[in-house]
Amino acid sequence: MTSDQSAKSAILYRMVMPDHLCPFGLKSKDLLERHGYTVEDHRLETREETEAFMKEHGVDTTPQTFIGGERIGGYEDLRAHFGQEVSAEDETSYQPVIAIFSVAFLMALAASWYALGTVLSVRTFEWFIAISMCLLAVQKLQDVESFSTMFLNYDLLARRWVRYGYLYPFGEALAGILMIAGALIWVAAPVALFIGTIGAVSVFKAVYIDKRELKCACVGGASNVPLGFVSLTENLMMIAMAIWMPVRILWLG
């Protein structure tokens, strides 16, 4: 433990204005207190006061934390000071996909428990894939323009017909919703098979043949998820459901 940490006191300067409460200032204060520090909290309540502080200390942002007379810096610097992970702004991450698939699986378990009285059934896995499709589609539909732009980097059909990039998330959502309901599978299955097959071929070519390093458009236009295994899995899941659902209905009832 360093002498700064043993003192367990810190000075924090953060913006607290009538029209703006700096969230990173609150996060810094909370982080310090969770590490056992007594915080001398200096609130910068006007723009003039904030600009004067930044000029005095030669910094461009607030909040700023000082421990033992040493300036630690902003919130991310404070996290690094305490040995916590600090992600780079453009760092790739699987977290969005993990969150989507985890929630989808829990929703499928809940639906199965409510509708069938058991958490594990064939419908559980059908609902898991269908709900995942819907959640992934929602991510894309939040900003279709950005999604379509990223999609053009690797999708073979979108490169020939740009409008397909705009239609894709609607098709994914439609197929997912119909598969959750178990209705109009004669519509859902061909749509899922079509977009899933083209997507799988496009991803496989871009990643495993052309060896390109691209960001995946699978969770929307602002994604830092790397194109590859996850994207291919998404498309293969759609293909599997497109084949399985008609088979189950026709032969298994």
Q: How far apart are CA 58 and CA 175, in angstroms?
A: 55
Is this prediction's pTM over 0.85?
A: no
Q: How far apart are CA 155 and CA 174, in angstroms?
A: 20
Residue 197 pLDDT: 96
Residue 3 pLDDT: 47
Question: If the chain, 253 residues long, is cut into consecutive pieces of 10 residues, what is the mean pLDDT of each piece?
Answer: 60 90 92 93 91 91 91 90 73 76 95 91 92 92 89 90 94 95 92 94 90 71 66 89 88 68
Contact 68, 40 (CB under 8 A): no
| β-pair partners for 16 | 21
Q: How far apart are CA 131 and CA 253, in angstroms?
A: 22
Contact 139, 220 (CB under 8 A): yes
Residue 34 pLDDT: 92
Residue 36 pLDDT: 92
